[in-house]
A and B are shown apart, each in its own frame.
Chain A
Amino acid sequence: MTAAFSARVDAALASPTLKLAIDRTTGTARSKRAAAMAAWPEFNIARDLGRDIKDHVIENLEHYLVTFEKNAIASGAKVHWAETGAQACAIVVDICRKANAKSVTRAKSMLGEEIGLPHALEEAGIERVETDLAEHIIQLAGDPPSHIVWPALHKTREQVAELFRTHHRDPGALASVEAMVGSARRQLREKFMAADVGISGANFLVADTGAVCTVTNEGNAELTTTPPRVHIVTAGIEKLVPSTAHAMAMLRLLVRSATGAELTQYTTFHCGPKQAGDLDGPEEFHIVLVDAGRTRMLAEGLADMLRCIRCGACLNHCVVYRQIGGHAYGATYPGPMGAVLTPSLSGLEAAQDLPRACTLNGQCQEVCPVAIPLPTLLRGWREKAWQQGFEPATVRWAVALWRFLILRPALYAAASAIGLRLMPLFSRNGWISRLPLAGGWTAHRDMPSPTGGTFLAQYKRRMKK
């Protein structure tokens, strides 16, 4: 394990409030999802359909991108293409400058986080107002997001109250979560109406209409995209669906998997700028189509991962995420989906610990609404890390030694018999609390003293009976 990852994990485990905060939100999310699935016995066939729709789009990605572009332009949108995150940020900042924008409202978009858009806007000297409640909280705290659906999941209600008391104009008593939400509503109301540019992401890009679909429960996306003169969408090129009907099939999967609801409170299809007669809506509508490593994933054999619809179910069900939270992953996308994405987006050498920080228990794949074989993809990264020599020398020697023995059964049996004889020497009252070469294991738990010989010896004995 690299020192940086190890330090982040230690910090997470040492936090007195993090585990509590994670348990409160992921616990609710898991039980709500379970209830939604219990009421939807068709989930398994719906998931197969979701997988096949996304695979079909990825197999015909050029066709759907070009179709979407053509229809979006016909609706009056301006379509931009960005190979990298930096290019995408430059395009957005340039549009803001041309619009003479002083203030920008932003509706939560994980792609925006991935490409560093918040930072780019700040560097350009443009006021950035995060409008999703969770994004607002972490903007005040100066934190990165720790979950892709609940970015402020690491904050307890007490910590949120403290932030609002410090930063809000009219916080009131903040005695309840209701009061905190009310304070944020008052704080952001005028900001929505005063912004020059609104920026959103996209949950789906609808090829046959050129529309951009966003989903929220707060209504902040529409309040971000409607009043300003300019609306900019940043979207990954994998977000396409063939038609509105296909988007509906995907929405059934996305919302139940994310929050357990059947549909978000607000599901909006944005198509072009203000039309003749419209009383509100932006005069300019820009869509920035962003690659930022997606075509590389296609080339690297990670096409399955391009199905991901960012529901967050794999995070909520991951035993590792639930212990260490999102920040320990040190990347925009945490949890199982993040452990697959990050090595591709930021390079395997830097992110090699993430695929290893996994028990391969398969929960993530079980709950994934588009059936991404996450454990298989994580094992793929482990193999690549091994082939590229990123494992530390001690691990490589240990595995080489184990390989040498396992290929020689008699020797292996003899070696494990010796090991078994030695282990009781370290035991006290039947438990081993310190063992040479296994300090990492015994530091946090005891191991029972072995009895009854090796597995193979026991197996042979039983087969004789």
Chain B
Amino acid sequence: MSSARAKILQAIRAASPATSSGKGPIGAQAAALSARAAATRPERVSGPVDAAFLTRLQDPGIGATTERVATLQDFPDAVRRYLAAQGLAAAVAVQPHPELLALDWSGVETHHHIATDEGAAVGLALGGIAETGSLVFHSSAASPTLFAFLPLHHVVAVRAETLWPWLEDYATALATLPQPRNVNLVTGASGTTDIEGTLVRGAHGPGWLHIVLIGSTNAT
């Protein structure tokens, strides 16, 4: 439909006669708009980024639980404790990330594909965002998208040194990374308010999200 393209662009040209002339180059205008964002952010993220991230995740609207361990080697223990506390079977789908595969998962049955009705999955996030308490996943062979959406329980490790303070800091970092097919910002457990505005967890995605923060910002 290249004729549709030509007609739409022609209609735009006809309707907007050079409105932005005199405002400088488009790129400079866009950059000036970006520069104003810092003043519009909620004044919250101050002090250590890891503390801000964990504080944000206390918000009941997000619907996540958190804990902190010293190193990634402590993550399987955290997962075992979580499964036991939730009364779940000792079986998890492990996101096929080399660093997760290298850990000692003894005592837990592990598999590396995700089933439609997966009970629990463990993952490693690319990073997190303190402002919103979000986890960041970039789709890849080591991070299939469905690991964050199919399980009922999702237990995710994120390293303190990979936390960004603000949404914009992540956006800046993204520009320097290879663009993945999917960027998933996961902010808490799945929820819906579609029936009478009542919040219910586990609509289609995970009903439980447990975040294990690895290390601390100060230690790095």
Contacts and interface: CB of A to CB of B under 8 A. Distances in A.
Interface in B164-214: 167-168, 170-172, 174-175, 179-198, 200, 202-206
Given A81-B4, A277-B141, A56 B30 contact: yes
Contact of B134 (A56, A80, A263): A263
B11 A291 contact: yes
Given A40-B42, A81-B4, A177-B196, A279 B184 contact: no
A219 B41 contact: no
B85 interface: no
Interface stretch (B12-20, B46-54, B68-76, B120-128): B12-20
A52 B195 contact: no
Nearest to A66: B9
Nearest to B174: A244
A196 interface: no
B72 to A, nearest CB: 22
Interface string B26-67: 100110011011011111000000000000000101110000
Interface centre among B39, B61, B181, B203 (most CB of A within 10 A): B181
B53 to A, nearest CB: 13
Given A59-B20, A246-B30, A263 B185 contact: yes
Contacts of A272: 179, 181
B202 A211 contact: no
- The size class of the interface chain B forms with chain A is 35 or more
Contacts of A53: 33
Contacts of A265: 62-63, 186-191, 205
A80 B37 CA distance: 32
Nearest to B7: A83
Contacts of A82: 1, 4
Scoring A80, A211, A226 by chain B CB atoms within 10 A of each residue's CB, the highest score goes to A226
Pick from A40, A157, A222 the residue with the most CB of B within 10 Å. Answer: A222
Given A28-B197, A227-B146, A42 B42 contact: yes
B8 interface: yes
Contacts of A63: 26
Contact of B181 (A21, A185, A244, A278): A278
Interface string A1-36: 000000000000000000001001111110000000
Contact of B196 (A46, A157, A295, A303): A157
A264 interface: yes
Given A134-B194, A218-B203, A223-B149, A62 B9 contact: yes
B116 interface: yes
B145 interface: yes
Contacts of A155: 195
A381 B190 CA distance: 41
A278 B144 contact: yes
A262 interface: yes
Given A42-B43, A295-B8, A251 B196 contact: no
Contacts of A66: 9
A389 to B, nearest CB: 26
Contact of B203 (A49, A217, A296): A217
Interface string A258-270: 0111111111111
B2 interface: yes
Contacts of A61: 12, 16
Contacts of B202: 181-182, 185
A413 to B, nearest CB: 48
Contacts of A156: 196
Contact of A226 (B62, B117, B145): B145
Contacts of A45: 36, 39-40
Contact of A223 (B33, B168, B204): B204
Interface string A211-238: 1000001111011001100000000010
A356 interface: no
Interface in B92-151: 96, 116-117, 131-132, 134, 139-141, 144-146, 148-150
Nearest to A75: B179
B184 A243 contact: no
A39 interface: yes
Contacts of B4: 81-83, 87, 291
Contacts of A39: 42
Interface stretch (A186-194, A197-205, A330-338): A186-194
Given A177-B195, A177-B200, A60 B181 contact: no
B2 A261 contact: no
Contacts of A299: 11, 14-15
Contacts of B181: 270-275, 278, 281
A60 B12 CA distance: 9
Contacts of A279: 96, 141, 144
A60 B195 contact: no
A85 interface: no
A268 B40 contact: no
A24 B183 CA distance: 34
CB-based closest 3 A-B pairs? A219-B205, A28-B197, A295-B11
Given A59-B16, A59-B20, A218-B192, 4 more contacts: A46-B40, A265-B189, A267-B134, A281-B139
